[in-house]
Each structure stands twice: as C-alpha cells, then as structure tokens.
Structure 1
Amino acid sequence: MMEQYVVDLREVDETHVALVGGKGAHLGELSRIDGVRVPGGFCVTTDAFRHVIAGAPSIDDRRDELARVNSDDREAVRTLSAEIRRTIEGISIPNEVAEAITRALAEVGEGAAYAVRSSATAEDLPTASFAGQQDTYLNVVGPQAILQHISRCWASLFTERAVTYRRRHGIDHRTVHMAVVVQRMAFPQASGILFTADPVTGNRKVATVDAGFGLGEALVSGLVNPDVFTVREGEVVAKAIAAKQRAIQARPTGGTQEVSIDARRQEQPALTDAQVVRLAQLGRRIEAHFGRPQDIEWCLVDDGFQIVQSRPITTLFPIPEIGDQENHVYVSVGHQQMMTDAMKPLGYSMWPLTAMVPMHEAGGRLFVDVTRRLASPASRAGLLNIMGKGDPLVRDALETVLDRDDFVPSLPDAGPGGGAGGGAPPPPARGAGARPPAGAGGRGGGGAGAK
C-alpha cells in the first residue's frame, strides 16, 4: 500500500487513529459535526513518522532497551528517552516527506501562523487521555519553522513523562507512533475548557466551563486561575470569577508571550453568561455525537466558538443505560459481597435471574436502583437503617444525596417494601452510586455522590 504522508483534517474521522493519531482523528470527526467550527489544517501521518525513524536503526535498539528497563529506574528511563529524542530531532526530514508538507502548507496558506500539535496513536482514548504527555507549539510561522517543530513533536513521543505514562498503562513503546496536526492558529479573546459532565462529582446533567483571557496555555500551565461557570439545563447556576492578572498571547513574529492584564479588566468575566450557555449547548452537541461525556478545549474568536480538541472524560465511572432523563441512585451489589473487582460476563448474566429485584449493569458490576425507596419516607428509613448496619459510609453517602433537595423527589409513602422493583431492600452494600449525576463506585471500593 502506498504511503500517505499528509492528509487534510476534513478527510479523517475516528476510524483513522492508526494514520493520524488520537488528536487528529478527533479533530477530523469534530469538523464533521454540524455547527462545530474547527480551525482548518492537515495531519502529517504516522507513515511519515515511520519513514523518518526508519533512517535511524539505533532508535529501534533504544526502544527495545526502554521496554526492558525497570520502570522504577528513572535515571535509565530519562537517559534512554533523551537519547531517542536527540536522534529523532537530528534526522533530516526526507525530501518526499518535506515536499508533501510544504505542498499542504501552500494549499492552506503558507504565510499563515499555525499550531503544530502532537497526535500519538495512544492518545485521547476512552480509557487514557494522555493529556499533556506530548508537545504542542503555538503560532509557528514559515515552512522551515513548521518542519522543525514537526520534528520536535515526533521526538516528544519519548519525553520522560510520556514514556512513564505509557508504562503505567501497560502500553508498549514499540507499538505507538506519532502523527502531527498542523492547524491554522486561532487568536482568541478568551479560551478554556468545557466538561460536559462534572469530572469531580460525576454529574452528567451539569456542564462546567473554565475560562480565561487569551490563549488556553495560561490555564493549562497554571499561570492563572480561571473563571469557573456551572451550567444546568441551559442556565448558569453558579460562577466564580477569578482575578486574572496574566494571559498568554501570540507574538506578531511567532511564538507566544506572557502579558499583564489591565487592573480594571482582571476581574471581569472572560465570558458572558449567554456565551457560557451557548458553549454548553455546543458541548452537548459534541457529546451526543461521540456518545460519551467530553473534555473540550475551546477558543472564542470574534464572538464565535472554535473547538480545538475534544477527548473523552476518562475519570467518569460508567452508568447503567436507562431510557429516561430522571435522576437515579444505585447501590452496588458486588461490593456488599466484598467483590470489588468487575464480574465476569457469566456472573452478571446469571445473578439477576435469581435476584428479588431488578439489577442494572455498569462497568462489569451490578447495581440496584434505590431511587423510589429513598423517595418514600417509610422505605427510606428502612433502607438507610440496613445500609448503615452494613457500612456507615454508604449510609452517609445516601444521606448526602438526600440532602440535595432537588435530586430525589419526595413521594407518597409506599410502605416498607415499596419502590421500583418491589421486594425488600437489598442487603447491605459497600458501594453506592447515582445516575445522573453521580457515578458508581470504582474498582477497589465504592462511593456515592451527587450534585
């Protein structure tokens, strides 16, 4: 098959991770969503990366050494990864690859400024985001500078932090390849991050927006505390406006610079409430397209939002699939039996056949929906009592959910055995979760929470 060194972002989608990496595939997919604006550009493919490193056989030897080295030997990891980076950056880009890149630049606009962004094949996955593990360079101007920064992105596959992260997730360095996204630079008035679910509480009905002035690097690097907005059902329900003393902006000649924000402007919101709501609605559209909550990087340019990245929120525990939009509270069945690991498919297919109440599966675990029992005063007291005997922390978690008046509505007393599914309350459990907005307890322990 003929190698393809460059491909337009509009020509790729989620099926092209092996060719353009996780970031490139997500950006291509984003550009296909109606109403979502993605800065134009192209990807330098993994074919180009493989072609380049094929010219330096020593890299394969170093990768083999890296795979064998003890992960606790940080000095060896640091030394080997630095050697690989130096070797990659020292390779002259073959003419055929360089010509493909310069042709693509001429089509998009050779004199424009670009963001040059790493896009590894093990990146932005549902189970591991790899956020910040490889390099991004902003406001790069001119073909020679772009070629140089593409080499730096290739080399960043072997930063010490990226190597360590892959080791921690059991990913073989020899199987990971690097593509590079070359994208028209956005010059925003404000930028930040949108989570379409609360990454702390797991609340799927709440979106949170972090916003600051200028480029998003100021937020990512921790240079400034962002404004934080909470959106529920098309309304800003909470906000905290920070004193944003600094920002990062593009230099006219290329690169970026840190600037001071005028004192009169520091405590002004980076976004209006109307803009926040509009951004959250855009996030819901993106979330619906990908079918899971998203961590989205956005820029505000001339009162229009441009999306420069979207990845799954990997910290959320999965929730049972329910057809309605109501709140649900679940108690983990497995944890009551001290089964903190996920069940095998045979186990969670057989157990519900003998259970007295309906059970729901999520993340390889079984849960009982206790929402209606909590809503009825009599059955609520009985449930809390039996949960407290099994594990006081689970009772505390359920009471925390009940303290949020808008989460579990109070229903007429259904009696001790009332509630969804009927029958007696489940035996004491050692983990509880809520859907939405709380996730079920994770591996090794249970938990509950709602907002």
Structure 2
Amino acid sequence: MGNYVLNFKEINEGDLLFVGGKGLNLGKLSRIEGIQVPEGFCVTTDAYKKIISQNAEVNTLIDQLCTLKVEDRERITEISRKIRYVIESLKIPTVIEEEIFYSYTKLGEDEAFAIRSSATAEDLPNASFAGQQDTYLNIVGKEAILKHISKCWASLFTDRAVTYRMQNNFDHRKVYLSIIIQRMVFPKGSGILFTADPVTSNRRVLSIDASFGLGEALVSGLVTADNYKVREGELIEKMISTKKIAIYALKSGGTEERELDHAQQNQQTLTDAQIVNLERMARKIESYFGSPQDIEWCLAG
C-alpha cells in the first residue's frame, strides 16, 4: 500500500500527523485484547494535502481567508462557502481512489460505514479539534463513500471550524484532515462514558450516559440520556430519563429520527449487568492509556 490509507491495526504511535488524534486512538484501541472496535481504516492527511496542493483556486481562497479576522463574519462565510464548493467538486486522484477501494473492498462492498473527520495541526499535533468537522453515518456504496470523504474534507472550512481556528491562532494552512472509514454498527443503545466522574472529578467513580439507538441523538441534545454511576464494580447510582426520540439507521443509507413507543421511553437503556461490564472494559482502556478517558460506546443490536 502507499501513503494514503492506513488500516487501524497498521497505525503506530508515530502516525499522529497522518491520522489525527481520533485515528491514532482507534489504532491503539484495536490492539487492546477484549475491546471490540469496528473495523476500519484512515485516509491519511497526505491525501488531503495532495488534493489541496494541486488546486490553485483553493489555495487562492485560503490566502484570502488568512487575511481576515474573526469580526469579518460575512467574508468568512462567503470565502468558506466557496472553498467547500471547490473541494467537494474536485475529483479524487486515481492513486488515492485505488487505495481507498482496496481497503473498502476488504471490509465488504455491501457494508455500511461511518465516515468521520480526524484533524491535526502541523505545529501543534496534540491540539483539540473535537466537534469542529463533520461526521456521516450509514454510508453505502463506493461513490457515496468518495462523495462523503470530500464532504468531510470540505467541512474543515465551515464557518464554525474557520472561526475556531482564528480564535485559537491556528494557521489554516497547517491544519490537516484525515478521514476515518469505519464499519457501521447498528446499536440497541449507545452513549459516552467518563472514567472519572465529570461532576465531582472522582477518579474512582465512572459515569455512563446512555440512550437508545445511535449516539447522535445524545450528542445533538435531542434526548436526555440515562446516567449511571459505577464504583469498583458496584452500581451506586442511576437516573433513568424519559427518552422520547431515538436515531436509527435506514436500510437505504442515512439515518432517521423515530419516536419511541411510550412503554420504551422510560426503560433503562442498559441492564445493571451490562453497566458493570461496561465499567470493566472502560477501566481496561483507562489502564492502557494511563489516564482518565471519555469513551464512545455502543451495544450492538
């Protein structure tokens, strides 16, 4: 293989600038025995650099963007929109397409995938860009995969992402994007957990947020999640919320919001045994990384 794709298990500690923090952590997680990570690969930042460097119009527009200040909102919106349009319109070079299709075909051409962004900065590789770029779920088929890779690259130039970089003094030219292509899971429930309680900072207490369906409903604020607190294998507190809505994948691709049956709305998302088992896995991950972690999780359907 070339420089444009790395499968999760090929990713090493020194690959941060090629796959970003999210991609690097997925590579690490895939090596932990007993931790199930959906298979996938990263389209590296080298692919993004090749796309951008070969287009004079994009470079001219980025030059214009670099002269602006946060206060220049209308111009930021205008130029950012043009950059996104050009990037989404570019044909991905054949050499990059071939590497993507090779890894994609090995995972299964009929499979559905999540396509996510993993940003990194040349001078500040450990800088956080969480939530700044786009994610697309349940993407099916070669052409759709390529289309959404381009959309992820373009999302580096949303108004929100551009303004964030300006506010934090990041050079637009030195922030690069890797794209994560990961086999889709169709979960009964999902959420996020913190190995140190985010409210009290108690590192002995693990906090789990959980809701039905895909985690997008929780992340976007559509539902108030259940919350469970666990300490050393013992469930010490739980709050069961009314969850009226869940997001589920469509067979044809994409996702939809669904109203839950009244009986399900007040059900506990995870059983007590599942909660305790999730804590055990989270502590294994925390031990591997050597510090408190926040972890996205799902319960496969």
Alignment TM-score, normalising by the size of structure 2: 0.95
Secondary structure of 1:116's match? strand
What residue number does 2:23 align with? 24
What residue number does 2:55 align with? 56
Residues 350-373 of structure 1: CA deviation (Å, up to 9, x unaligned): xxxxxxxxxxxxxxxxxxxxxxxx
1:128-277 equivalences under 5 Å are 128-277=127-276
Q: Which amino acid aligns with 1:244?
A: K
CA distance in 1, matches of 2:152, 2:275: 33
CA distance in 2, matches of 1:287, 1:64: 42
Structure 1 residues 128 and 225, CA, compared in 2 at 3 Å: closer, same or farther?
farther
Structure 1 residues 68 and 3, CA, compared in 2 at 3 Å: closer, same or farther?
farther
Identity of aligned residues (%): 55
1:388-427 equivalences under 5 Å are none
Residues 300-354 of structure 1: CA deviation (Å, up to 9, x unaligned): 115xxxxxxxxxxxxxxxxxxxxxxxxxxxxxxxxxxxxxxxxxxxxxxxxxxxx
CA distance in 2, matches of 1:178, 1:126: 12
1:372-391 equivalences under 5 Å are none
Secondary structure of 2:217's match? helix
CA distance in 2, matches of 1:148, 1:51: 17
Residues 104-161 of structure 1: CA deviation (Å, up to 9, x unaligned): 11111111100111111149x9975422211110000000000000000111111111
Of structures 1 and 2, the one with the larger relative CO (CA 8 A, separation 6+) is: 2
Alignment TM-score, normalising by the size of structure 1: 0.64
Q: Tell me by how many angstroms 1:83 deviates.
A: 1.5
More moved, 127-136 vs 81-90: 127-136
Q: Which runs of 5 or more residues in structure 1 are unaligned? A: 303-451
CA distance in 1, matches of 2:134, 2:263: 34
Residues 209-258 of structure 1: CA deviation (Å, up to 9, x unaligned): 00000000010011111001111222111111011111000001100011
CA distance in 2, matches of 1:165, 1:279: 34
CA distance in 2, matches of 1:213, 1:70: 42
Secondary structure of 2:273's match? helix
1:211-360 equivalences under 5 Å are 211-302=210-301
Q: Which amino acid aligns with 1:32?
A: R
CA distance in 2, matches of 1:44, 1:165: 24
What residue number does 1:428 align with? none
Q: Tell me by how many angstroms 1:68 deviates.
A: 2.5
Q: Which has the larger radius of gyration?
A: 1
CA distance in 2, matches of 1:283, 1:129: 22
Contact 1:208–1:230 at 8 Å: present in 2 too? yes
Q: Which runs of 5 or more residues in structure 2 are unaligned? A: none
Secondary structure of 1:156's match? helix
CA distance in 2, matches of 1:261, 1:253: 21
Equivalenced residues, count: 300
Contact 1:251–1:257 at 8 Å: present in 2 too? yes
Q: Tell me by how many angstroms 1:41 deviates.
A: 1.0
Q: Which amino acid aligns with 2:18?
A: L
1:73-152 equivalences under 5 Å are 73-122=72-121, 128-152=127-151
CA distance in 2, matches of 1:52, 1:228: 43
Contact 1:22–1:122 at 8 Å: present in 2 too? no
Structure 1 residues 98 and 82, CA, compared in 2 at 3 Å: closer, same or farther?
same
Contact 1:215–1:249 at 8 Å: present in 2 too? yes
Q: Tell me by how many angstroms 1:62 deviates.
A: 2.2
Q: Tell me by how many angstroms 1:169 deviates.
A: 2.4
Q: Which amino acid aligns with 1:16?
A: D
Residues 264-307 of structure 1: CA deviation (Å, up to 9, x unaligned): 111110001221111122111111211221111001115xxxxx
Residues 7-30 of structure 1: CA deviation (Å, up to 9, x unaligned): 111110342111112211110111
Secondary structure of 1:72's match? coil
CA distance in 2, matches of 1:126, 1:188: 32
Q: Which amino acid aligns with 1:268?
A: Q
